[in-house]
Amino acid sequence: MEFETIAAISTPMGEGAIAIVRLSGDQALSIVDRLFRSPNGKRLIEVATHTIHYGHLIDPKTNAVVEEVMVSVMKGPKTFTREDVVEINCHGGLVSVKKVLNLVLVNGARLADPGEFTKRAFLNGRIDLSQAEAVMDLIRAKTDRAMSVALNQMEGRLSKLIQKLRQEILETLAHVEVNIDYPEYDDVEEMTHNMLIEKATYVQQQLRKLLQTAEQGKILREGLSTAIVGRPNVGKSSLLNSFVQENKAIVTDIPGTTRDVIEEYVNVRGVPLRLLDTAGIRETEDIVERIGVEKSRAVLKEADLILLVLNYSEAISEEDEKLFEVTKGMDVIVIVNKTDLPQAIDLDRVKELAGKAPVMTTSLLEDKGVDELEEAIADLFFEGDLEAGDLTYVSNTRHIALISQAISTIEEAVSAIENGVPIDLVQIDLTRAWELLGEIIGDAVHESLIDQLFSQFCLGK
């Protein structure tokens, strides 16, 4: 398969020590070779693969030096894209990196689309679709555990499992074909029925086991949407700052200081939390604060976890009780803050209102109770531990949907077998399950979906 030679900046924009402009394609080496001048007269088209070379980039029109660079040469097929890849390491200023990119574009390369390097790795057969998607998961990973799961998927752990299950289905379908071709042998039919149930049940069990990791995997991939709620001035912004370890939110003794929803990602015991510090929920005449309160109520409906904060030095109010009512049935941790002040709250009443929800006491001013709170969050969702290195996790929403559909299709096949439905009709359901699993790794997927998936990648990857 032959493509145009593409180029893009592969490092974040801004000032830094080094920036990289990456090229991939049949002409990558010859384009940069025309622009590169080495002190010893070395030609890039003659050097060994996977080597790096010092020199300057020259504008061939003016013969002027554009940049001092180090050029990495990697010849296909032993590259990320399986094409010739050249990486130009230049100084990390905005002007220098853009000049280098413009120079290679003017001299024969095309600007890459978002995710096009990874897309080429997929189209050239180096990785499958699930591994390609894991590349972006790795880039976006916010915790060590999320990174470990993405690495396992990128290295093919999920792919190998899916391929193994598809092979099981394929072998089953081959036996079905035997039964259809030789219907005169009764023992073949009986053997086929028994084998169909055994194989279909095995695949179904494996897929169910994989789906059991979906909730944890999705949390690792996307983060746990966590709303910090409570009346004004109970310590919500202090809790956010305690997690983040810096003053992102304004903390004062004046009720209603937080007027909007403040969002921040934090790592709590390996659990990525998307923390949302909300405006204190109360009746107010302040129009700006009222808008913030309405946003807070909307956030509550979408949150995976609620951190409901109460004031240790104040009695439970009607507004507090309303918050318990609003968050009923959700995953809630109740935090009674400001234990450094004299007690006025009835803790027995708090526990009664909380029901099965954990109740923690903290003094954020004195940094007390935060470790216990973090442990409670990890216990609530991961039972305190996550064996990211030992399990195959499924975290991608698209993968979860396809596995769920495959399970339903296999269930229909098993039910049909047990009810004596002709084997050739059962074959249709099993074939559909095989196709659904193929969509995960890209064996049976529409081109428009591929384009859509890779368009979500960053430019230069």
pTM above 0.75, yes or no: no
Q: What residue segments make up the domains of the chain, in order of their start?
A: 6-112, 131-213+394-455, 219-382
Torsion of CA 226, 231, 235, 240, to 10 degrees: 20
17 in the Ramachandran plot: left (φ > 0), alpha (ψ -120 to 50) or beta?
Answer: alpha
Phi, psi torsion values for 250, nearest 5 degrees: -75, 130
Looking at 112-244, which runs of residues are DSSP E strands? 224-230
Paired with 439 in beta bridges are: none
Quick one: 131-213+394-455 is in which CATH superfamily?
A: tRNA modification GTPase MnmE domain 2 (1.20.120.430)
**pLDDT for the residue 89:** 96
Q: What is the pLDDT of residues 135-146, one digit of tens each?
A: 878 877 777 777
CA-based nearest residue to 296, from 267, 243, 365, 307:
307
Q: What is the pLDDT of residues 205-215, one digit of tens each?
A: 999 988 887 77
Asked if 199 and 168 touch (Cβ cutoff 8 Å), the reply is yes
**pLDDT for the residue 224:** 78
Paired with 275 in beta bridges are: 226, 264
- How far is it, in rounded angstroms, from Cα 290 to Cα 27? 60
Evaluate the omega torsion of the peptide bond into residue 358 and state whether it is cis, within 30 degrees of 0.
Answer: no
Q: What is the pLDDT of residues 24-35, one digit of tens each?
A: 999 999 999 999
- How far is it, in rounded angstroms, from Cα 157 to Cα 393? 9
Strand (E) or helix (H) holding 272: strand 271-277
Fold of 219-382: Rossmann fold (3.40.50)
Q: Residue 217 is which amino acid?
A: G
Above 60 in pLDDT, residue 283?
Answer: no
Check whether domain 6-112 has CATH 3.30.1360.120, yes or no: yes
CA-based nearest residue to 188, from 201, 176, 202:
176
Q: Do domains 6-112 and 131-213+394-455 have the same CATH topology?
A: no
Strand (E) or helix (H) holding 454: helix 447-455
- Please, is 144 exposed, middle or buried when counting C-beta atoms within 10 Å of its C-beta (0-12, 13-18, 19+)? exposed
Beta-strand pair 271-277/332-337:
unpaired
